[in-house]
Structure 1
């Protein structure tokens, strides 16, 4: 059990043979239809260091609050920094953005990478371990996460665009994700401050 500012959660690690693991933060009866699920990738800069041009920390906090409010759900925390490209690549991409005035998708292309190289198979292991019901509520705006869950056999009964507060510096990043990455962002639910 882990007591947090957002509620008290069950915490587990999951994985297959080898060093790859992920963490689940859950509460309530996950085997009932409609339990909330979020697949969340680690973001050192946005979660731990408070980067102003990122919404990862606010999304994680809001997802945990929503799971606690609903009384049943799980956040699967995956160690996939930089959309799966790793921390070193993420830093290289950030420097390209700064020097060349380009966005993160363009920087990854210049580095010879696709926009998103994440693999969600560990999330499937975690959700199976936890006995998540087939019919779920998705807490994400990312179309690839929806596709991953559906590919694992889950039925998305509802997809929720989270409401959260983020720095004004993150606006361009979110707009890029919405327009180029086809993220289902609801800008009316996001409050830009600072």
Structure 2
């Protein structure tokens, strides 16, 4: 259900923003949306929070550019929705994310290997609340997805959505973030389109 809603003007356009939850649970997510979402093929993105990439502008992360570009794409189309999930560190939480980062720094390993060394699954995210939020917004059951993550596509299908189409976002990243994306492609089966990702600096 929608807990609270307003309209927010951002650098990337004006969006309806709302928080969503289920009765009896403190868990929340946020949506940013525009336009009529009931049309088949509505563009959506499931986006997980990343304080380092979005607020602190970490050089080895592409989360900030992904979110900004997704908002720009919704604004360009005039309709669409982004579900912002509070799932730091692929659902592990901020503390374990930082522990993993320290192991990466000291051992020269990647983030998947760091999670393995902590005895954690590589991805602990749960997308059930995203399904509730999309339903709250009246999003069509046939959607266009802004993502390169096969796990998100599978989750949407399990929630009853049909993936009408999928496309990778186009944005700029640093060399360190580019290396991270290569790792996600090789070890995480992400369907990246490197022709759309510009390397800077």
**Normalized against structure 2, the TM-score is what?**
0.95
Q: 1:56: how far off?
A: 0.2
Aligned with residue 81 of structure 1, among 88, 91, 110: 88
Structure 1 gaps of 5+ residues are: none
**Superposition map of 1:60-99 within 5 A:** 60-99=67-106
**Post-superposition, which runs of at least 4 consecutive aligned residues in structure 1 deviate over 3 A?**
none
Aligned with residue 152 of structure 2, among 145, 150, 156: 145
Match of 1:163 in 2: 170
Matched, 1:4 2:10: yes
Match of 1:15 in 2: 21
**Superposition map of 1:1-194 within 5 A:** 1-16=7-22, 17-194=24-201
Q: 1:166: how far off?
A: 1.0
Q: How far apart are the structure 1 equivalents of 2:155 and 2:78? A: 24
Q: 1:89: how far off?
A: 0.3
Q: 1:171: how far off?
A: 1.6
Q: 1:72: how far off?
A: 1.2
Match of 2:4 in 1: none
Q: Which moved more, 1:63-72 or 1:101-110?
A: 63-72
**Normalized against structure 1, the TM-score is what?**
0.99
Q: How far apart are the structure 2 equivalents of 1:171 and 1:31? A: 36
Structure 2 gaps of 5+ residues are: 1-6
Secondary structure at 1:159's aligned position in 2? strand
Q: How far apart are the structure 2 equivalents of 1:39 and 1:188? A: 22
Q: 1:186: how far off?
A: 0.5
User: Which whole-Å deviations, capped at 9, do the CAs of 1:28-76 have from their partners, x for residues lacking one?
Assistant: 0001111111000000000000000000000000001111111111000
* Count of equivalent residues: 194
Secondary structure at 1:95's aligned position in 2? helix
